[in-house]
Structures are given as C-alpha cells and as structure tokens.
C-alpha cells in the first residue's frame, strides 16, 4: 500500500493519504451504517511515529491500520504513542488493544476522567445514565425500544475496551515527530474532555469530532452527564474560531481547507435549531420527545420514528440540551412534575 495524495478518492476508501509531508490520513472502517469510517492520523519523520486517534477495536480496522502503517515502513509495534481526542469507541478502543500487545502509551484529555470512571464501573448497565434522562424527556417509547434492541445486561467483561490512559492530557504544547509541536486545546461539548490538537506552524488542526465537515456532532449523549453540554460545545466552537484559521483534519470526513468556515456554519446551524425548537414549544410541544417528533433529522430530513432506537435517543437528548440552554437564556421555562420536564414560553 503506497501513500496517495489527499482528495484523489472518496474519503472513506481504505488507503494512506498524505496531507502534508510527514502527516498521513488513514481511514478505518466503522461497524455501523451511519458513519462509514473514522480517520486516524499518522505523524512520522521516518524514525518515530505517533497516531492521533486509533479507530474502533474491530478485526477489519486492526488489519487496515497494520496495512497502512506497513506502507509507511512501520508496524503497530513502532507507534510511539496514541494521542486521543476523546473517549469514544471509534477513537480509543483500538489503542487499548494495541497497548495490550505492544505496551504503547495512550494520552487522553484530563477531563475525560469522570466518563472513563463511569464506563469502567463494575456491572454497569449500558446507557445507565441516559435512560433516566430519556424518561424525564418524555421519551418512554424510545427508552423501551432501546432496552428491546440492546438489553439491560452489564457491559463489562474480560475484554472490556475501557482502560485508563497512561497520561491525562492538560492544555499545553507537546513535541511530535518531524519537529512538530502540537497545542492541546480543551474543547468540551461532544464529550466533557474532548481535545483538539493544533499544529500552528503548519496551519493544521486535528479536530476529532469537535468540528466535522458534513455533520453536526452529537452533544446530548454522555456516559457521565454534564449540566449544559450544548453551552460547552458552542463556547468551544467560539474558542476554535478565535484561533488562527487552519486546515481541518477531522475524525469523520475529508480534510477541509478552513476550520473557521465550518465553525461559522455550525454556529449558524445551532442558532437556527434553537429558534426552531423554541417555535415548536410555542406551537404546543412541551417535552423534548414531543419536540423531537415534530422536527426532521439528518441531511435526509427524516422523522424521528424513521431513525433506529439509538439515533432516536441521540435526537431526543439533543433536543433536551437545546431546551435547557433556552431555559438559561430565559427564552422558555421548565417545570419538573412526576418525573417529566415540561417546557413552555
């Protein structure tokens, strides 16, 4: 497998794509129909190798990563460390599998500690913290569909993918191969401890899931729930907007020329969504579930009931985060009664 120039194939096609000399994008497969691939970035000077994110611990992803690294004259045992943007399966778990075999260090944002603690709790039930939030949002039908689809068995096992990193990343600068220096920037929202990595000298920003070119990152699903994740996400977008513009190296989607341009689109999108949700409350929808039923979802404008149970849960929790932000802005009011949160103008 030889390196290719960026942009010569669809971004999900397996291969090694040179972004700039010493920086390569490696798309790895995902085990679902929604997101087809996740990008891992290899930073190398020919002697040393660091990976930004790792992929999902699946045999096909493992094999494709090995093949791609071989094209760079390296193997998994040559990886010096993993720098992980956030603690989701498609970013973290293949790093854990590689560490179990090769001892490769993993570095993760320090504010992911609470999430990882929740994920490694013995006997933890899947989505243990989200089920009560769905119930409070009026999403009992979604909750029941989730339980039917995924069950309620503990998720921990001997092969559980969740382990602590070797290093908790604090904001600051660190050296990587090729004489590069990456600034670690805390960007909460999608997760509480999400970080991006900025190579200011080269004009590159490894954005993880914080800024994506084709979709808006989810902000409502947290293993350890936070108070106002949408507020955190919008603040993080504005922080990235205040930094010098750079080429965007996202976790899902092609490399794009301007982080600023996409951040501006995302900020406008959420402004429109907040207005749309407030108008839906004014029209008589009073729970997050009722609002979600009246909105459309994804670029294909699907209804809530056309989504699978997991994405229905994401949608309802996403609406709840928007509604709670509207409450803080005094655009709507909220009252809790009999385990339900009701919203009104």
Superfamily name and number for 4-120+160-257: Ribonuclease Z/Hydroxyacylglutathione hydrolase-like (3.60.15.10)
Given 1.10.540, 1.10.287, 1.10.10, 3.30.70, which CATH number is that of 130-154+268-344? 1.10.10
pLDDT band at 231 (very low <50, low <70, confident <90, very high): very high
Residue 153 pLDDT exceeds 50: no
Q: Which two tokens stand for residue 16?
A: 């090694």
Q: Which residue has the higher pLDDT, 167 or 5?
A: 167
Model confidence at 126, pLDDT cuts 50, 70, 90, reads low
Q: Which of the two residues, 244 and 157, has the higher pLDDT score?
A: 244
Q: What is the mean pLDDT of residues 159-181?
A: 92
Distance CA 218, CA 317 (A): 9
| pLDDT of res. 1 | 79
* Predicted local confidence at residue 31, as pLDDT: 87
pLDDT, residue 151, reads: 62
pLDDT of 121: 83
**Cα separation of 264 and 238, whole Å?**
9
pTM tops 0.85, yes or no = yes
Domain-wise residue ranges, the chain: 4-120+160-257, 130-154+268-344
The per-residue pLDDT for range 34-79, each reduced to its tens digit, is 788 999 999 999 999 999 999 999 999 999 999 999 999 999 999 9
Secondary structure class of 34 (helix, strand, coil): coil
pLDDT of 123 reads 73
């Amino acid at each position: 497998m030889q390196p290719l120039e960026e942009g010569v194939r669809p971004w999900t096609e397996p291969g090694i794509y040179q972004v700039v000399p010493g920086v390569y994008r490696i798309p790895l497969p995902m085990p679902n129909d929604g997101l087809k691939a996740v990008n891992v970035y290899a930073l190398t000077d020919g002697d040393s190798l660091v990976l930004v994110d790792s992929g999902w611990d699946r045999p096909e992803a493992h094999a494709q990563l090995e093949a791609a690294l071989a094209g760079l004259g390296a193997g998994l045992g040559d990886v010096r460390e993993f720098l992980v943007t956030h603690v989701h399966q498609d970013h973290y778990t293949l790093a854990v599998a590689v560490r179990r075999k090769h001892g490769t260090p993993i570095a993760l944002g320090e504010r992911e500690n609470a999430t990882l603690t929740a994920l490694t709790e013995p006997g933890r039930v899947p989505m243990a913290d989200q089920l009560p939030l769905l119930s409070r949002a009026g999403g009992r039908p979604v909750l029941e569909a989730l339980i039917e689809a995924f069950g309620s068995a503990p998720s921990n096992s001997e092969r559980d993918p969740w382990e602590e990193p070797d290093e908790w990343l604090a904001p600051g600068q660190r050296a990587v191969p090729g004489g590069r220096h990456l600034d670690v920037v805390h960007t909460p929202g999608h997760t509480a401890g999400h970080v991006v990595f900025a190579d200011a000298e080269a004009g590159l920003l490894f954005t993880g899931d914080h800024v994506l070119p084709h979709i808006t990152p989810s902000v409502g699903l947290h293993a350890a729930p936070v108070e106002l994740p949408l507020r955190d996400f919008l603040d993080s977008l504005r922080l990235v907007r205040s930094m010098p513009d750079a080429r965007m190296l996202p976790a899902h989607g092609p490399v794009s020329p301007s982080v600023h341009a996409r951040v501006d689109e995302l900020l406008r999108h959420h402004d429109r969504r907040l207005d749309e949700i407030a108008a839906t409350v004014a029209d008589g929808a009073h729970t997050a579930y009722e609002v979600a039923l009246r909105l459309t979802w994804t670029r294909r404008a699907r209804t809530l009931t056309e989504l699978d149970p997991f994405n229905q849960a994401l949608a309802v929790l996403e609406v709840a985060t928007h509604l709670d932000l509207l409450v803080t802005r005094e655009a709507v009011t909220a009252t809790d009664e009999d385990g339900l949160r009701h919203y009104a103008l």
